[in-house]
Amino acid sequence: MLNEIREQPAALDRMLNRHAADIRKAAAALQHRRPPFVVFVARGTSHNAAIYGQYMVETFLRIPTGTAMPSVTTLYGRTPDWRSAAVIGVSQSGRSVDVTEVLAEARRQGALTMAITNDPNSPMAGCSHHVLPLAAGPELSVAATKTFTSSLAMLAALVAGWGRATTLARAIRRLPDAVASAIEHEAVIRSLARRRAKRDPWVVTTRGYMLGVGDEMALKLKETAYAAAESASAAALLHGPIAALDRKSTVLLLLPPGKSKAGLIDLRHRLRERSVTTLTFAFDGEPGDVAIYTGLPEPLAPIVASPAVHLFAYHLSVARGLNPDRPRGLTKVTPTR
């Protein structure tokens, strides 16, 4: 897992250079088709990446998005009418049976289908009009890391091409260096994890573009450190769950630049007034327990945050005396239907 976290800058550089033509073709197909809505299909870590994709599509293109419920197709045989949609599958292996069946049915209906995957020869890729390979190299860790970060970058690049967002496209080229800079904070992250190793429960909170990374952090804490961890947007937290937080709780706050920052800082003040321990991963000049400068626009901050949250989960697992490369009860591909 640790090796693959550290491979992320090279993986991003490889993907963006090798598959620029694939991204352009997929973006051109979307421009030509002009779908009135976009459906994402994914499970687990890939579902967290899809949440980021929803934010990117809705903010840059103003097109409504949703996430498919695969069991509607696989268990109930009642796939919605997606003929006019763009349906985008996200799966590092491309072998999730239920995700593949949804894409196959969407294509049969006449929807424009796309596969974001690390295996361009996978079943999911085979039933998609366009394949967007992650080019991350073999991912052996059960807990997916580099393919998650590459999925975010692929979604950003696809939206930039689709929306002809040239400023965003130029910034995306700087992602490998920005991600490498984030990984340089590993010693600070390791120290933070060691100091908090015995704490439970954990709540990860953030808002906006960063929301999928918050979900990813909670998932990785559960997968690798067996932590009692949940994620919630800052807005959702204020609508009730905050009442459950006390001195025993630890809130991991992902503080991005931009429009959501002020509200998250206010939330941190409220939590501290209640003696709730908060740990802040801050970006672009804000003070925090981990402070990372990205120099990138707000929509790309989640991609730089990804290796930082992966490193925290890894080092928390090790600090608890666990082996993050052998999470109990998990395998690399989960065959759900």
- At 216, the pLDDT band (50, 70, 90 cuts) reads very high
Q: 287: exposed, middle or buried (C-beta count within 10 Å: 0-12, 13-18, 19+)? A: exposed
Q: What percent of the chain shows pLDDT beyond 90?
A: 83
Six-digit token pair at 202?
A: 């954990």
The lowest-confidence range among 52-61, 112-121, 129-138, 262-271 is 262-271
Q: Give the model confidence (pLDDT) of 219-240 as tens digits.
A: 999 999 999 999 999 998 888 8
- Cis preceding linkage at 201, omega within 30: yes
- When pLDDT is averaged across residues 82-101 and rounded to a whole number, the result is 94
CATH of domain 178-319: 3.40.50.10490
Residue-level pLDDT at 229: 94
Residue among 207, 213, 261 nearest 237 (CA): 207
Domain topology for 2-173: Rossmann fold (3.40.50)
pLDDT, mean of residues 136-152: 94
Query: pLDDT tens for residues 168-207?
Result: 999 999 999 999 999 999 999 999 999 999 999 999 999 9
- The answer to whether residues 137 and 121 touch, using CB atoms and an 8 Å cutoff, is no
pLDDT for 238 equals: 82
Average pLDDT over residues 115-135: 96
Helix, strand and coil percent figures for the chain, each rounded to 5: 50, 15, 35
pLDDT mean over 311-322: 97
Q: Which of 171, 149, 185 is nearest to 297 (CA)?
A: 171
pTM of the model: 0.95
In the chain, where are the structural domains located?
2-173, 178-319
- CA dist 93 to 66, 196, 281, 313, Å? 22, 33, 30, 22
